[in-house]
């Protein structure tokens, strides 16, 4: 199902269970680095074994732009960033500080949109909270979310005390 809520695009089941499990297995068998809130793999669309992600995000971005035509006609050129993250949150971990995708550094100051696909179901928390929209996602395998990168769509991860959460996340940025 496709829907939007306060400029948050929601598309269920954009990846199959096999695709999600393939990425989870890749995360679990690869060398990850530990960030403060999660374990991650920085990926590049040109070298990842999961190139199908680009097509999934691109196809859904086209639908997002159809709904928000301003993004097509009134902006400088932009595209999906070629870099993205595969992230693993162990029980008790979450990116819990409220934040936005747009920031002060060169790489994030040009961000226009954020996107995320959950790779597994998490029944005990595990979603993402958008407080200004009074909206919390549910972590369901294959579900894609796209949202504006700015302060109006600040968000934070909801902790699961009992389950591991896996996501793939990236951005769309000005060229």
More confident residue, 37 or 167: 167
CATH class of 2-174: mainly beta
Chain mean pLDDT for the chain? 94
For the segment 25-33, the average pLDDT, to the nearest whole number, is: 91
**Res 33: pLDDT:** 83
Residue 49 exposure: Cα atoms within 13 Å on the Cβ side: 10
Cβ atoms of 118 and 142 closer than 8 Å: yes
User: What is the C-alpha R_g of the chain?
Assistant: 15
Phi/psi at 4 (5° precision)? -130, 150
The runs of H, that is alpha helices, within the chain are 17-29, 52-67, 70-73, 106-109
Q: Which residues pair with 144 in a beta bridge?
A: 11, 117
> What are the residue boundaries of the structural domains of the chain, listed by start?
2-174
Residue 2 has pLDDT above 70, yes or no: no
Question: What pLDDT, in 10s, does the model give residues 43-96?
Answer: 999 888 899 999 999 999 999 999 999 999 877 999 999 999 999 999 999 999
For the segment 18-45, the average pLDDT, to the nearest whole number, is: 92
**Res 68: pLDDT:** 92
């Amino acid at each position: 199902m496709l829907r939007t809520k306060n400029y948050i695009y929601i598309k269920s089941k954009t990846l199959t269970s096999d695709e999600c499990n393939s990425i989870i297995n890749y995360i679990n068998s690869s060398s990850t680095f530990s960030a403060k809130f999660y374990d991650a793999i920085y990926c590049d669309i040109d070298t990842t074994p999961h190139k199908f992600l680009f097509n999934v995000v691109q196809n859904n971005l086209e639908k997002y732009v159809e709904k928000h035509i301003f993004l097509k006609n009134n902006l400088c050129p932009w595209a999906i960033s070629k870099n993205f993250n595969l992230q693993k949150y162990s029980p008790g971990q979450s990116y819990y500080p409220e934040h936005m995708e747009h920031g002060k550094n060169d790489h994030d100051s040009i961000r226009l949109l954020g996107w995320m696909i959950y790779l597994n179901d998490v029944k005990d928390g595990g979603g993402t909270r958008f407080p200004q929209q009074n909206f919390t996602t549910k972590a369901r395998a294959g579900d894609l979310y796209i949202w504006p990168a700015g302060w109006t769509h600040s968000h934070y991860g909801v902790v699961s005390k009992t389950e591991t959460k896996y996501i793939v996340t990236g951005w769309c940025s000005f060229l």
